[in-house]
């Protein structure tokens, strides 16, 4: 019987990882969440990580929720926002439970346009919120909220036009090239952003967009080095969703944090979350901030590591050390070490500095628990207080507890 189970797991994992490797994520649209995302509601705020509620939310997520309600026009003031939340008028739901991902607080509202990424190989669709540097960190001030308005009214519209003109934009191609250009595709997507900007702008020229519309979009895209992270996250979510829901598979299909808890989902374990406390980040602080100011780990952006990018491809991006700390040797070692807890090397995403080895891809909960090696995540840091922006960046490991709980859940479900 034990042998039977083991074979079933191996077969399931082969099916799952083959889907990950064959995935071909293409950006096909940008649409308001209410029009695109299954289960989205007008009074819903989707958020990063496993489920939470207002009482249990960390400071920066509370700030981001307030900023998002102001953006959405559901509240006029910060105090209004708190009042309608406390009246129970706002429903909270994790992005991941809607095939979606969002950076840091990840707060996504009905009218907020999201990237629509289709895995052309398997036909499933994922959604990703814009990456910006204000509301997602908890800032709810006018400038922060105006950034979301620019996204909704101008930038997303233009990108949608460019996508239609291009007939879709293949994200796998850009990610593969970006790994040769010093990106790890989580906190360093700079080369990807530059390539994406060129494609969008050129398609908008071809689409005949008027100069006064095109210029602010072009200026934004060529100077926003972090922009491509939203696309990288969307691509990774589409890829991992394709491999979700395979009975007996021990593949991790999501790692996400809400700033209080870290949670994972596993292909063979349905939509259940397995959680532990979100870790503190070991890294570098911007001037004026210290560890005292930092919120625990937050965001759905660890979907990049889940798909074999981000911390797993640090070896491709030694320049990120300026942002997150460490040494180039450590970067190489992390990327090699992740091979011990993963199912395959992805030959679609290779790392030149490791002799063009494929990225370590597909975390197996069994290998994590057996080896004691935790996935490495590189991440931005939010301030623990609402109303602030990014205060630093660094490396973090998830709690082993989440993986052990998942393994117990697996044993229970499959009666091992």
* Residues near its own copies, by CB under 8 A: 180-183, 190-191, 194-195, 197-199, 201-202, 205-206, 208, 211, 214-215, 218-219, 221-222, 318-319, 321-322, 327-328, 352-356
> Contact, 252 vs 266, CB < 8 A?
yes
Least distance in angstroms from the C-beta of 350 to its own copies: 9
Q: Which is nearer to its own copies, 224 or 364 (CB)?
A: 224
Shorter beta-carbon distance to its own copies: residue 3 or 211: 211
Rounded Cα–Cα distance for residues 7 and 19 (Å): 18
Element (H, E) at 81: helix 78-86
Question: How near is the Cβ of 398 to its own copies at its closest, in Å?
Answer: 26
Q: Cα–Cα distance between 27 and 126 in angstroms, integer?
A: 10
For residue 299, give the nearest of 232, 240, 381 by alpha carbon: 381
Residue 16 vs 204, nearer CB to its own copies: 204
Q: Residue 218 Cβ, how far from its own copies at the closest point, in Å? A: 4
CB of 358 to its own copies, least distance (A): 14
**Residue 72 or 183 having the CB closest to its own copies:** 183
Comparing CB distances to its own copies, the nearer of 218 and 251 is 218
Going by the DSSP 8-state scheme, the letter that residue 45 receives in this structure is E
* Smallest separation (angstroms) from its own copies to the CB of 225: 9
CB of 201 to its own copies, least distance (A): 6
Alpha-carbon distances of 83 from 3, 62, 76, 153, 386, rounded to whole Å: 57, 13, 11, 28, 16
Contact assessment for residue 60 and residue 263, using Cβ atoms and an 8 Å cutoff:
no
Cα separation, 230 vs 109, in Å, equals: 16
* Separation CA 384–CA 332 (nearest Å): 31
Q: Which is nearer to its own copies, 146 or 198 (CB)?
A: 198
251, 9 Cβ separation under 8 angstroms: no
**Cβ atoms of residues 244 and 265 within 8 Å:** yes
């Amino acid at each position: 019987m034990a042998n039977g189970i083991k074979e079933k797991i191996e077969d399931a994992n082969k099916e799952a990882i083959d889907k990950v490797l064959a995935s071909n994520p293409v950006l096909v649209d940008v649409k308001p969440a209410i029009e695109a995302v299954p289960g989205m509601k007008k009074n819903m705020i989707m958020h990063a990580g496993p489920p939470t509620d207002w009482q249990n939310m960390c400071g920066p997520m509370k700030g981001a929720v307030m900023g998002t309600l102001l953006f959405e026009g559901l509240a006029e003031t910060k105090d209004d926002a708190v009042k309608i939340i406390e009246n129970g008028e706002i429903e909270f739901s994790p992005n991941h439970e809607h095939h979606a991902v969002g950076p840091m607080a990840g707060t996504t509202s009905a009218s907020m346009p999201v990237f629509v990424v289709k895995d052309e190989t398997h036909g499933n669709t994922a959604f990703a919120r814009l990456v910006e540097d204000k509301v997602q960190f908890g800032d709810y001030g006018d400038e922060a909220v105006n950034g979301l308005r620019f996204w909704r009214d101008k930038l997303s519209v233009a990108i949608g036009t460019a996508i239609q003109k291009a007939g879709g934009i293949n994200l796998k191609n850009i990610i593969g090239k970006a790994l040769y250009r010093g990106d790890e595709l989580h906190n360093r997507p700079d080369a990807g952003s530059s390539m994406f900007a060129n494609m969008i702008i050129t398609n908008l020229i071809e689409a005949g967009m008027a100069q006064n519309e095109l210029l602010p979009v072009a200026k934004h895209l060529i100077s926003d080095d972090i922009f491509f992270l939203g696309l990288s996250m969307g691509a990774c979510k589409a890829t991992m969703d394709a491999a979700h829901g395979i009975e007996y598979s021990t593949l991790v299909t999501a790692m996400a944090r809400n700033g209080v808890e870290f949670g994972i989902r596993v292909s063979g374990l349905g939509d259940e979350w397995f959680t532990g406390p979100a870790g503190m980040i070991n890294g570098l602080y911007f001037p004026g901030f210290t560890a005292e100011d930092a919120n625990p780990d937050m965001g759905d952006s660890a979907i990049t590591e889940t798909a074999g990018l981000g911390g797993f491809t640090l070896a491709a991006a030694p320049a990120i050390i300026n942002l997150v700390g460490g040494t180039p040797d450590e970067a190489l070692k992390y990327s090699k070490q992740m091979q011990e807890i993963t199912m395959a090397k992805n030959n679609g995403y290779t790392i030149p500095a490791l002799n063009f080895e494929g990225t370590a891809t597909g975390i197996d909960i069994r290998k994590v628990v057996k080896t004691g090696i935790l996935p490495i995540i590189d991440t931005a840091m939010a301030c623990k207080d609402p109303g602030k922006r990014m205060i630093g960046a660094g490396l973090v490991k998830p709690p082993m507890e989440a993986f052990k709980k998942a393994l117990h859940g697996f044993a229970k479900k499959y009666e091992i």
